[in-house]
Structure 1
Amino acid sequence: MLIEKGYNLGGSLKILGKNISAAPIATGFVAMLFSTMGPGMIVMNAAKQGGLSDAQAVSWLLAIYVFGGLSTMFMALRYRIPSVVAFSIPGAVMLGKMIPHFAFNQVIGAYIVVALVAMILTLTGVIKKVVEHIPVPIMLGMVGGVLLSFGTNMLTATLQTPQIYGVMLAAFFLVMTFRSFSQKVPPIIVAIVVGVIMLIFYKDIKPVPFTWEIASPVFVAPAFSLRAILDISVPLFFLVIGVQNIQAVGVLMAENYEPPINAMYLVPSIVSVINSVFGGHSAVHAGPSTAICSSSAAGEKKEYRFIAAFFEGVFWFVFGLLAKVVVESVKMVPPQFTAVLAGLAMFEVFASAFKGAFNGKFRYGALVAFFVAITNLTVLNIGAPLWSIILGVVTSLLAERGDFNFSKPPVSTGEAA
């Protein structure tokens, strides 16, 4: 089968029920905060730039979070991996500039074209063959470069406001030193509680008025325009295929999971079609959220960390229904709070990525991939993550050709039910 079989959903639910604890729920919550507080505002800003109505903007949020949440829960249960189906953040930034030049239904048609092409490449096995031939250290070098900003943003916020975020970091690492206690009370929970207390103490929480209201979907019938396909579908395709999903695959490899590559491309493609008819853009597997949910913050046993992703999906679903309310309420805390939480949640992922990238073969290629990914530059409408892999592989072919093993067997997905 081209699509990995996975596990029985009912069996996964039983395992989830027997192993629910504070750690995965808290980690899923932190990942939700990270992926909604900033990205949600980016989408709203793109909608405003595109001249969309408030109803269309809220429907956009409703689609990407509700269906992203449902598909994240499905992936967690089907494959028991902590992967998160989200949406393309750089895609949203790009669309804010592109939407004004087209009728909105032509934009929707461009979204559908991206999804269909991704489906075809997945079902024909092309994507999996390409991904499986990328050396893992180069993939991890790319992941380290992409995620580096989360670590530097965390430390920047800490150095700028040590009385709040420095105390949060100290609390996090203090709890980590007491292993028996940290296994019962996740350090990230302590950091959240301490951070909120310090924000209240320094009066850095801003009250924001809002009214309770369930978001409503707005249906948009697609139309297809060659110019829209060329101007929107082509760059969006490279973001989805070569930049976004590949990050999540690399993150899971860094944590020693065997990602179901075809499913990780097909499921977001299906979700993208559903998103589009309600005004939402392309779904992807999210590297940063996947990194948070796959880290040790989600629990000591990696086989149960899928529970964190499942709960992030639950939180996303609720966020989507309350999109209008939540977008206003998240303005209560400063963005540095989320930056620190994201950095702390991914602390172990950083260590795993760097160890896997520079501790064996393909070190030169991994280093080039790391440096290119840090630049975050876009050249020829292709983002830095894809360029980092291309240039990393070229470097290894030139300087480390002996490290390649072209007869390497394909990656399996483990036991299936």
Structure 2
Amino acid sequence: MDIRAEAPASPFNAPERSPAETTGTSPSVGLTQPIVAGIMAAFVGFAGVFTVVLQGLVAVGATQAQAASGLLAICVAQGLLSIFLSWRYRIPVSIAWSTPGSVLFAATGIIEGGFPAAVGAFILAGLLIVAAGLIKPFGRLVSSIPAVLASAMLAGILLGLCLAPARAVGLEPALAIPVVVVWALVGRIRKIWAVPAAVATAVALIVWTAPTGGWSIDHITPDIAFVWPVFTLQGLVSLAIPLFIVTMASQNLPGIAVMKANGYEPPVGPVFFGTGVASMLVAPFGGHTLNFAALTAAMCAGPDAHPEPSRRWIASVSAGAFYLLLGLGATLAAALVTVAPPVLIQAATGLALLGAFAGALAGAISIPAHRDAAMVTFVTAASGLSFYGIGAAFWGLIAGGAFMLLNRNRSR
């Protein structure tokens, strides 16, 4: 069954649906299943990688309060967007933060101008996403970037973090091994819960090992910190452009593919516009790029959400509503990460990214003729080199693209 998003003339008028499009199951059964599926999707999406988001923001210069504010802003924005877009189009449009973007921040580090310059880069990346939604030639230009190079760049960015669990086991086996063991055992039973279980184990160990007075639940009210953006050329080249590319290639395109695989035709232009604008709005509060979800999209758009495809949009609405609640815990999450033994956070973060790394590496070597170019991109992005203040991710894409063009010209 192909559920297509019928866009009416006005973008603010919801498409009319007849009662016949709803499922024939009883109302209680019809609502309970997608609501529960949405809650599970939001919990898995949040618990699996919230540490990645917090670490990424701190890596580019955010304070604990600014990182907590950023996580809160992203949760609220993606929750509201998921609710509105799913209700508007009556299909399960799931919105998420850019996990590859957070990894990029950790690999890039603090740029000249500190966190205000990073915030300016977040806004520019959001502007590029808006342009991709509004200007079709620009969107086609972005789509023309070879997928193998984008995947190789992401794999290079992820490599260092994915080595962290092994390093953590070597440095603090008593703390890191339980996290890894729980991840492996739970993954054998039900893979989707492996990372949340590992994170829960890490949180329990954080609470257990934290020194008396190291952290308090007295400050669990949400932190809201405003940062005036600073726009710099280095921020544009080192953060904004690579953030835009990895978000489009590693989040938006897979998210679109997941929806199409489940029989939906997502409203790409409006979603790009909405996520781009939302990314620009949350940036001054420490948030960064929003995009199509991939993992949570699969949970909300698949048959586990509801047997009837026409009712699965309720799962995305439920996930969005639960993200609003999860955002309220952002300050406490940031406090826990701050007082945690570094090896625990590194182990949990690395385990959360292993699947993404495997997918990126597989995509990088998927075309034999382009493997050399992909490997040039991979090793350059993983090297951590920096020229003129511009990070390795950008240079990896440039090096791989130049190598691909060189060999293409040679083959002619």
Structure 2: tracts of 5 or more residues without a match: 8-13, 23-29, 306-311
In the alignment, is the contact (CA less than 8 A) between 2:159 and 2:382 conserved in 1? yes
Greater shift in the superposed pair: 111-120 or 61-70 = 111-120
- The structural deviation recorded for 1:358 is 1.6
Q: Which one of 59, 62, 69 corresponds to residue 46 of structure 1?
A: 62
- The structural deviation recorded for 1:392 is 1.6
Tell me the C-alpha RMSD between the 2 structures.
Answer: 5.2
The normalised TM-score by structure 1 is 0.65
Residue 352 (structure 2) pairs with residue 345 (structure 1):
yes
Residue 153 (structure 2) pairs with residue 142 (structure 1):
yes
- The structural deviation recorded for 1:130 is 2.0
* Deviation per residue, 1:329-357 (Å, 9 max, x gap): 44453333233223323333333322232
Counterpart position of 1:158 = 169
Residue 288 (structure 2) pairs with residue 283 (structure 1):
yes
CA gap of 1:140–1:61, structure 2 versus 1, over 3 A, is closer
In the alignment, is the contact (CA less than 8 A) between 1:138 and 1:389 conserved in 2? yes
User: How far apart in 1 are the matches of 2:303 and 2:374?
Assistant: 25
* Aligned residue type for 1:343: G
User: How far apart in 2 are the matches of 1:384 and 1:308?
Assistant: 39
Counterpart position of 1:67 = 77
Counterpart position of 1:360 = 367
User: How far apart in 2 are the matches of 1:324 and 1:197?
Assistant: 17
* Aligned residue type for 1:272: S
In the alignment, is the contact (CA less than 8 A) between 2:206 and 2:336 conserved in 1? no
CA gap of 1:86–1:357, structure 2 versus 1, over 3 A, is closer
- The structural deviation recorded for 1:371 is 0.9
* Aligned residue type for 1:346: L
How many percent of aligned residue pairs carry the same amino acid? 21
- The structural deviation recorded for 1:152 is 0.5
Q: Which one of 138, 159, 184 corresponds to residue 173 of structure 1?
A: 184
User: How far apart in 2 are the matches of 1:35 and 1:349?
Assistant: 13
- The structural deviation recorded for 1:158 is 1.8
SS of the aligned residue for 2:285 comes to: coil
* Aligned residue type for 1:353: A
- The structural deviation recorded for 1:132 is 1.9
Counterpart position of 1:408 = none
* Aligned residue type for 2:288: A
CA gap of 1:265–1:138, structure 2 versus 1, over 3 A, is same
* Aligned residue type for 2:276: S
Counterpart position of 1:317 = 324
User: How far apart in 1 are the matches of 2:322 and 2:386?
Assistant: 32
The normalised TM-score by structure 2 is 0.66
CA gap of 1:322–1:256, structure 2 versus 1, over 3 A, is closer
- The structural deviation recorded for 1:285 is 4.1
Equivalent residues, number: 371
SS of the aligned residue for 2:209 comes to: coil
SS of the aligned residue for 1:46 comes to: coil
Residue 399 (structure 2) pairs with residue 391 (structure 1):
yes
CA gap of 1:245–1:347, structure 2 versus 1, over 3 A, is same
User: How far apart in 2 are the matches of 1:189 and 1:108?
Assistant: 29
- The structural deviation recorded for 1:29 is 3.3
In the alignment, is the contact (CA less than 8 A) between 2:83 and 2:318 conserved in 1? yes
In the alignment, is the contact (CA less than 8 A) between 1:141 and 1:370 conserved in 2? yes
CA gap of 1:383–1:318, structure 2 versus 1, over 3 A, is farther
* Aligned residue type for 2:46: F
